[in-house]
Amino acid sequence: MVAVLNKCSSILAGEPSLGTPFSINAINQLTDQSLDLTTSIHWHGIFQKRTNYVDGVSFVTQCPIIPNDTFVYNFNALNQSGTFWYHSHLRNQYCDGLRGAFIIDDPDDPHRNLYDVDNDDTIITLADWYHYLSTNRPAVPAFNSTLINGKSRYPDRPANVSLAVVNVRRYRFRLISISCDPNFTFSIDGHQMTVIEVEGNNVQPLRVDSLEIFAAQRYSVVVNANQPVDNYCKSSLGRGFLQANLTKTGMRALPNAAGRNFSNLNNLAVLHYAGAPDTNPTVDPTVNIPVSKLPLVETNLHPLTPSQRQTPFPAGADININVDVVLYLRSPAQQGVELTIPGGAIGGPHPVHLHGHAFSVVRSAGNDSYNFDTPVIRDVVSIGNASDNVTIRFSTDNPGPWFFHCHIDWHLAAGFAIVFAEDVPDVLRRTLRMASFLA
């Protein structure tokens, strides 16, 4: 039994355009007593300006939806477009399947001249799958399969996973990690990729041959299908296997758990060129694996258009906070906030997500310098390892209680989270007006 939305755990519905208002009626029809029976849905990456109450976080912005009841998520993403996703935000329920892609199209996409194809078929989700429910997890959960677009191969039940492409066309692949735990290093055998979007934010085109993607992160990459007609491996390589990226065999999704490999075509999917035989790649994916020569480095990502200039020194914001052991923070309106987040916590590197905002990463993991001029803007960042002190900045321009948490879902359930109470007086005024309206 799995928890799903609209009888699927992939794409929500279509591709709405920039400025489209949403009215999504969530009807709780969960009946399996082995699952969590209440639920709520978070629209990951959507700022919910003035609609904090539909951010979908159980016990923070709403009460869970009980069985046979409904909740209507009415919101407008305003000027947001790009690659987002949805998932349950109740306990670890999204690990049981309630997760998927949520795309908002921009008809005036400034990168539109770089690709020919961008549709439901070019959305790629990467996930972990467990052969037990989150309600029956062991003390240290370990996943059994890696899913590429909801499918996987594993020894006792192999399954074909393929994406069809046409020769000499340029494809915008929207890569979304809907993982509960592992990060992946993604690559496509024999092909380079051009990164054009990071979590709803356009970036200057950056060519890479592999990229590390953490839980809840998203990238749009352009891939030119200009190689000889064949079947190629697409790779999502987990922590600890960074050397195994490029072979001319297909798509890879190797998780970071010890003992995982590409034998028996496990953790693989196929990028199928039109005209190629409908078979698996014939090259052994476990041998002659070259090292990536153009891996994505976060500090090489820069906004397509200049962002607001930062105060050019550390601790130069209006509010400066070192996040170590904090449960609740209160911040006034229209202030610049700088968070420094030390790495090295057990179970890392940890990807942290801020609701209601995108933030500037002025210091990235693996780097001891700062970029106050052209930092990448995103909503999930890895805080790295023990020597790291990742630093982000954002503005308190969106009133409400906003969750800030690790997106390794098991860690969130264990308490790796903070609530930011932003512009509390405005929230109280709007709450009183709403109560008066409903009275």
* pLDDT (tens digit per residue) in 51-69: 999 999 999 999 999 999 9
Catalytic one among 22, 71, 89, 214? 89
Whether 87 is a known active-site residue: answer: yes
pLDDT for the residue 244:
23
- Overall size of the chain counted in residues: 439
Sequence-ordered strand ranges (E) for 299-411: 319-322, 328-331, 336-342, 351-354, 359-363, 377-378, 380-382, 389-395, 400-406
Instruction: Classify burial at 329, counting beta carbons within 10 Å of its beta carbon; exposed 0-12, middle 13-18, buried 19 or more.
Output: middle
Whether 302 is a known active-site residue: answer: no
**Rounded CA gap, 396 and 276, in Å?**
53
Catalytic one among 102, 416, 418, 420? 416
Whether 406 is a known active-site residue: answer: yes
pLDDT for the residue 159:
54
What 3-state class would DSSP assign to 236? strand
What 3-state class would DSSP assign to 117? strand
**Rounded CA gap, 72 and 78, in Å?**
18
pLDDT for the residue 190:
82
Catalytic one among 111, 191, 272, 350? 350
Catalytic one among 102, 353, 403, 418? 353
Residues 6 or more apart whose CB falls under 8 angstroms from that of 197 comprise 82, 83, 111, 203, 218, 219, 220
Catalytic one among 22, 24, 41, 44? 44
pLDDT for the residue 121:
87
**Rounded CA gap, 430 and 48, in Å?**
14
What 3-state class would DSSP assign to 436? helix
Whether 89 is a known active-site residue: answer: yes
What is the per-residue DSSP string for 149-216?
Answer: TTB---TTS----EEEE-TT-EEEEEEEE--SS--EEEEETTB-EEEEEETTEEEEEEEESBEEE-TT
Both tokens assigned to 102: 């949520």
Handedness of CA 272, 275, 279, 284 (dihedral sign): negative
What long-range pairs does 303-308 form, CB within 8 A, spacing at least 24? 303/201, 303/202, 303/203, 303/204, 303/374, 303/375, 303/376, 303/377, 304/110, 304/111, 304/202, 304/203, 304/204, 305/202, 306/374, 307/360, 307/374, 307/375, 307/377
Both tokens assigned to 370: 């700062």
pLDDT for the residue 291:
75
**Rounded CA gap, 198 and 196, in Å?**
7
Question: What is the pLDDT tens value at each position of the chain, 439 positions in all?
Answer: 455 555 444 555 455 777 889 999 999 999 999 999 999 999 999 999 999 999 999 999 999 999 999 999 999 999 999 999 999 999 999 999 999 999 999 999 999 999 999 998 899 999 999 999 999 999 999 888 888 888 776 656 655 556 555 555 899 999 999 999 999 888 888 889 999 999 999 999 999 999 999 999 999 999 998 877 766 666 554 332 222 222 333 566 666 654 456 666 666 677 777 777 777 666 666 666 657 899 999 999 999 998 777 889 999 999 999 987 555 678 888 899 999 999 988 898 999 999 999 999 999 999 999 999 999 999 999 999 999 999 999 999 999 999 999 999 999 999 999 999 999 888 777 765 554 444 4
Q: Do residues 40 and 59 make contact, with C-beta atoms less than 8 angstroms apart?
A: no
Catalytic one among 87, 111, 272, 357? 87
Both tokens assigned to 267: 């953790």
Distance, first Cα to last Cα, the chain: 41
Element at 411 (helix H, strand E): helix 409-413
Catalytic one among 103, 124, 408, 418? 408
pLDDT for the residue 61:
95
pLDDT for the residue 324:
75
pLDDT for the residue 9:
47
Ramachandran sector of residue 129 (left: φ over 0; alpha: ψ -120 to 50; beta: rest): beta
pLDDT for the residue 407:
98
pLDDT for the residue 259:
42
Catalytic one among 262, 411, 418, 420? 411
pTM of the model: 0.91
Q: What single-letter amino acid sits at 14?
A: G
Whether 272 is a known active-site residue: answer: no
Whether 42 is a known active-site residue: answer: yes
